[in-house]
């Protein structure tokens, strides 16, 4: 009998899994400063859990355009109390490219590391993940080795194939460092992490089924939530965020990273009821 997939075992339900975004930062593009204090961040994490998050993705540093680089010590200082409190209550994913932050968070009970540099900023991070038998998310970013978005642009001949090839190379780096292949997730990114041309993100979304096929057998995360490729005000982006994520899930994405877990949950429930996503045994309901 084949061993159960580690992510399905971790979350206890079939994909897609909702990752609620928790920015413990003063300068994140969508909610900077709202949850900088540990008490506020912990309360928000619990709210995301109640709304249906399978995991909480905690970040202590913004890599949006114009944001400064943060040292690991300050990053740990921002998130440590939050991780220590929430780790016994739910699955935690830590959005970091620092091996020291990853090691401390995994010691406190986090289960997944979400590296938006895809191991370019700190190669030691892969060995830390392997030592803890943790999950690893690798995100594409046009800039590197640090993932912070710069004014530099990127042009692609085939954006889907080129991002897939990059992520396959970085997944191989992780595997050589000892990370189990079945614990690796890849994320094609969106918006300025791809390029400053919004159409490149739409091309990735239009070709998402092909992208999933190219990066198989690795699982795929979709992280379009509130990103700037949508030509509308930030406060109005959630519905299109959920639509793009839902279509990506229908085309093979297993993880949905979202700021609005409640809305994402409702989209997934509706899709299951309409037969667009596999139904969960025992049914789903609003409540």
Mutual angle of helices 38-51 and 72-86, in 10-degree steps: 50
CA-CA-CA-CA torsion for 7, 30, 22, 177, nearest 10 degrees?
A: 50
pLDDT score of 28 = 54
DSSP code of 62? -
Write the DSSP string, 240-273: HHHHHHHHHHHTT--EEEES-HHHHHHHHHHHHH
Please give the distance of CA 251 from its chain centroid, rounded to a whole number: 17
Residue 53 placed within a domain: yes
Residue 280 placed within a domain: no
> 113 has which bridge partners?
94, 136
For residue 24, give the CATH number of its domain. 3.20.20.20
Residue 99 placed within a domain: yes
Inform me whether the pLDDT recorded for 118 exceeds 80: yes
Inform me whether the pLDDT recorded for 129 exceeds 60: yes
CA atoms within 13 A on the CB side of 17: 23
Residue 12 placed within a domain: yes
Residue 73 placed within a domain: yes
Identify the weakest region by mean pLDDT among 3-7, 233-237, 274-278: 3-7
Inform me whether the pLDDT recorded for 172 exceeds 70: yes
pLDDT band at 109 (very low <50, low <70, confident <90, very high): very high
Residue 287 placed within a domain: no
Average of pLDDT values for 191-203? 97
CB 199 within 8 A of CB 228: no
H/E element, 49: helix 38-51
Inform me whether the pLDDT recorded for 70 exceeds 80: yes
pLDDT band at 25 (very low <50, low <70, confident <90, very high): confident
Residue 281 placed within a domain: no
Inform me whether the pLDDT recorded for 202 exceeds 70: yes
Inform me whether the pLDDT recorded for 283 exceeds 50: yes
Could you check whether the bond before residue 145 is cis, i.e. omega within 30 degrees of 0?
Answer: yes
Residue 278 placed within a domain: no
Average of pLDDT values for 233-260? 96
Inform me whether the pLDDT recorded for 266 exceeds 80: yes
CB 89 within 8 A of CB 47: no
pLDDT band at 31 (very low <50, low <70, confident <90, very high): low
pLDDT score of 26 = 77
pLDDT score of 33 = 55
3 state SS of 113:
strand
**How far is 203 from 207, CA to CA, in rounded Å?**
6
**Number of Cβ within a 10 Å radius of residue 108:** 20
Number of domains in the chain: 1
DSSP code of 140? -
Percent with pLDDT over 70 in the chain:
93
Average of pLDDT values for 155-177? 98
Which residues constitute the domain of residue 253? 6-273
């Amino acid at each position: 009998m084949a061993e159960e997939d580690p992510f399905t075992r971790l979350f206890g339900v079939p994909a897609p899994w909702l990752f609620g975004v928790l920015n413990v930062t003063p300068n994140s593009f969508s909610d900077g400063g709202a949850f900088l204090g540990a008490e506020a961040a912990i309360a928000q994490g619990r709210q995301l859990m109640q709304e249906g998050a399978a995991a909480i993705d905690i970040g202590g540093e913004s890599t949006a355009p114009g944001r400064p680089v943060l040292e690991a010590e300050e990053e740990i200082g921002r998130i440590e109390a939050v991780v220590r409190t929430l780790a016994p209550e739910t699955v935690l994913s830590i959005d970091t490219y620092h091996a020291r932050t990853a090691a401390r968070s995994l010691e406190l009970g986090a289960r997944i590391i979400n590296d938006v540099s895809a191991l370019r900023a700190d190669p030691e991070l892969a060995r830390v993940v392997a030592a803890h038998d943790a999950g690893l998310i690798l995100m594409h970013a046009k800039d590197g080795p640090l993932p912070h978005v710069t004014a530099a642009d990127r042009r692609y001949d085939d954006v889907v194939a080129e991002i897939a090839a990059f992520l396959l190379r970085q997944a191989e780096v992780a595997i050589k460092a000892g990370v189990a292949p079945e614990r690796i997730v890849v994320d094609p990114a969106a918006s300025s992490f791809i390029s400053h041309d919004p159409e490149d993100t739409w091309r990735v979304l239009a070709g998402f089924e092909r992208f999933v096929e190219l990066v198989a057998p690795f699982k795929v995360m979709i992280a379009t939530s509130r990103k700037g490729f949508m030509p509308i005000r930030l406060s109005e982006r959630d519905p299109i965020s959920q639509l793009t994520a839902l279509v990506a899930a229908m085309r093979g994405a297993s993880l949905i990273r979202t700021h609005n877990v409640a809305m994402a949950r409702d989209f997934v429930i509706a899709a299951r009821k309409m037969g667009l996503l596999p139904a969960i045994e025992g049914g789903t309901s609003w409540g």
